[in-house]
Chains A and B, each alone.
Chain A
Amino acid sequence: MPERKVTVASRVGLHARPAAIFAEAAAEQPVEVTIAMDGAPEDEAMDASSILSLMSLGASHGDVVVLRADGAGADQALDALVKVLETDHDAE
């Protein structure tokens, strides 16, 4: 299954506003995308379009997370979401 490892760029981590932006972007994708902390078992991965899952993940600035998706358009979806995570939304 295609996956990407990304470092969380947001200074406050995957909290509030950055989490909302990311969840909305994930919901717009044609495929289901999951998110997990790097090194966590794959079956613990959570729905990336859920703001509550993202918040419970508790990823801080500099943490590495793994995004996974399957099916048609999975690669494009992952690339789009990597961009969102690599942006520091608080710096905008």
Chain B
Amino acid sequence: MQKFSGVGVSPGRVLGTVRQMPAPVTEPQAGDQRPADSTAEQEADRLRSASKSVQAQLKARSDAAAKAGNDEAKAVLEATALMAADPMLIKSAVKLIEKGISAERAVWEAGGTVAETLKGLGGYMAERSQDVLDVRSRIVAELRGMPAPGIPASETPFILAGIDLAPADTATLDPALVIGLATSEGGPQSHTAILARALGLPAVVAAPGVEHLQDGVEVFLDGAAGVVVTEPGDEERRLAQTWKEKAGALPAFDGHGQLGDGHRIPLLANIGGASDAVVAAEAGAEGVGLMRTEFCFLDRDTEPTVEEQVAKYQPAFEAFAGKKMVVRTLDAGADKPLPFLTDASEPNPALGVRGYRTRRTDPSVIDRQIQAIGVAAAAAEKNGKGADVWVMAPMIATAEETKEFVGLCREAGIKSAGVMIEVPSAALTAKSILSIADFASLGTNDLTQYAMAADRQLGSLAALNDPWQPAVLQLVAATVLGARAASDDVAKPVGVCGESAADPALAVVLAGIGVSTLSMTSRALPAVSAVLRSVTLAQAQELAQLALGALSAGEARAAVRAKLPVLEELGL
């Protein structure tokens, strides 16, 4: 039996066979010659047939996406299928083959040249250069007789193992086939972890060694304990079976978040568009604590008009008529570049012009968005389906920025204007900020990254980039205290909308620190609600003290989990 230890990022215990994420395609050596026994014509034919079969594979995926009603994926896959057999690409590769170069190297170079040209055009075209490089890798893999890069195709469910998932892979993952995730890199807030929680897939990250497991090997994966073991025995089978029964038996969330003593902690949902809003409403969410608005802007090379934005915001507001709906203004930059707004060439994008800061370089985009939110809120109201719309800005660092943003919201007729607390400076000046803003919402993913100075994608820093870090919890506590100090009567609301709110044990700690609402992926609502109800406010406060005083994230987590027997009972 082999055991691999990492960080558990999404609870659940499953048994399954491993399928490895294929290794990225390596570059064929420069000057790689075609075999002496083949003619240029034969080598060119080999390339043409490889490009045709890649085109057919992509076309099949595009048809499958169309069938599933995913029009966006269909359009992208259709365009990449065309690229795979593009006459210009093949022609320039064949020219190289005629000079004696191998098909692999020829298509690698020809694709690279096209990608460079597109990159040089900037904006939208520069983004598409990635598609050309993807197609090039697929053709080289096909020529080598290697598996295509990306999530493996399979008829039967499997546990996906690999180094880490890229955002593009996470978009093509089919939760009916992938029953668990195990990666050697990535941290608690990496793309893999966020996706796993959104889909309710048990997952372990930062577990070195899992990327070398053979395809077809049976393993047991525990997404709460953070371990993967081979040759599972009777005990592991029993645990997996129990989890299957318990997880299915977890009662649906009844729409009333509270602790065991009746202390109210409304549980809200994080959503990324109108369709998520419907799912969240069905899952019993008491409102929306984070509505991301990037969906309106991504994949576009021009800014959507105010009318286009209103048409997208209004249905989401109407899905939560009469309930709270916290809208975050555009959070572009860093890992979410927008060709018409952000500068992709910044040397250090995480510390660059992102979030509300884009207003420094181009105020009009944010200003028009605030206007659109105001119009959409008023239109929903007029339809008799008005939501209680709150608006907040991401990446606020100072009280001065807060004042400016609140002013803009007031002008647009927005009643409740707040800020995200993601930059440590905002947490430390929470009293000043909350004497101006109507509320604050803690974005623990970025807050952790900035407080710990640790990139969230790096497996080697996973232990630092962990929201259980006592320093991060201290910043949460500072924000709560700042809110109380800023007001003579009732403190202004401080919520959490980061990934940490979806961890049932951490949710208890956050409640104990004094946050007023928790917002999470809809799928986490039943588990978080069940665990919150197992403690009183006094117990939650005691657990919060334990976590705040711990020496490490691991110690904080272990100390709190040990006092929450309900977690073991529910297999969380």
Contacts and interface: CB of A to CB of B under 8 A. Distances in A.
A20 interface: yes
* Centre residue among B86, B89, B128 by max chain A CB count within 10 A: B86
Contacts of A17: 75, 79
A50 B51 CA distance: 14
A23 interface: yes
Interface stretch (B118-126, B373-381, B410-418, B495-503): B118-126
Nearest to B81: A20
Given A49-B87, A53-B88, A56-B117, A16 B132 contact: no
Contact of A24 (B75, B82, B89, B114): B82
Interface on chain B toward A: helix, strand, loop, or mixed SS? Answer: helix
Contact of B79 (A19, A46, A56, A58): A19
B241 interface: no
Contact of A16 (B86, B88, B121, B128): B128
A36 interface: no
Contact of B87 (A11, A12, A47): A47
A30 B88 CA distance: 18
Interface on chain A toward B: helix, strand, loop, or mixed SS? Answer: helix
A17 B132 CA distance: 15
Interface in A37-71: 46-47, 49-53, 55-56, 58
Interface residues of A, number: 19
B121 A58 contact: yes
Nearest to A24: B82
A15 B87 contact: no
Contacts of A20: 75, 78-79, 82
B487 interface: no
* Centre residue among A15, A49, A50, A51 by max chain B CB count within 10 A: A51
Nearest to B125: A55
A53 B118 CA distance: 10
B118 A55 contact: yes
Given A16-B75, A16-B128, A51 B121 contact: no
Contacts of A56: 114, 117-118, 121
Contacts of B76: 16
Contacts of A49: 87
Contact of B89 (A16, A19, A50): A50
Given A50-B88, A50-B89, A56-B117, A15 B82 contact: no
A12 B128 CA distance: 14
Nearest to A48: B87
A71 B51 CA distance: 29
A15 B78 CA distance: 13
Interface in B419-439: none
Nearest to B302: A12
A11 B301 CA distance: 10
A53 B491 CA distance: 60
Interface in A1-40: 11-12, 15-17, 19-20, 23-24
Contacts of A15: 124-125, 128, 301
A15 B79 CA distance: 10
Contacts of A58: 121, 125
A28 to B, nearest CB: 13
A33 to B, nearest CB: 11
Given A17-B75, A47-B87, A52-B88, A23 B82 contact: yes
B75 A52 contact: no
B59 to A, nearest CB: 12
A24 B55 CA distance: 13
B83 interface: yes
Contacts of A52: 83, 86, 88-89, 114, 118, 132
Contacts of A55: 118, 125, 128
Nearest to B115: A52
A16 B299 CA distance: 10
A19 B91 CA distance: 19
Contacts of A23: 82
A16 B89 CA distance: 17
A52 B302 CA distance: 21
Contacts of B125: 15, 55, 58
A58 B311 CA distance: 30
A50 B90 CA distance: 10
B79 A50 contact: no
* Centre residue among B82, B114, B117, B125 by max chain A CB count within 10 A: B82
A24 B78 CA distance: 11
A55 to B, nearest CB: 6
A51 B83 contact: yes
B302 A51 contact: no
B88 A46 contact: yes
* Centre residue among A11, A12, A16, A53 by max chain B CB count within 10 A: A16
B302 A16 contact: no
Contacts of A24: 82
B87 A16 contact: no
Given A20-B82, A56-B114, A58-B121, A50 B87 contact: yes
B246 to A, nearest CB: 46
Interface in B110-151: 114, 117-118, 121, 124-125, 128, 132
A53 to B, nearest CB: 5
User: What are the 10 A-B residue pairs with the smallest beta carbon separation, nearest first?
Assistant: A50-B88, A51-B82, A20-B79, A53-B88, A52-B86, A56-B117, A50-B87, A58-B121, A50-B86, A52-B114
Interface of A: 11-12, 15-17, 19-20, 23-24, 46-47, 49-53, 55-56, 58
8 contacts: A15-B301, A17-B79, A20-B75, A50-B89, A51-B83, A52-B89, A52-B132, A58-B125
Given A47-B91, A50-B89, 12 more contacts: A16-B75, A16-B128, A17-B79, A19-B79, A20-B79, A24-B82, A47-B87, A50-B87, A51-B83, A52-B88, A53-B86, A53-B88
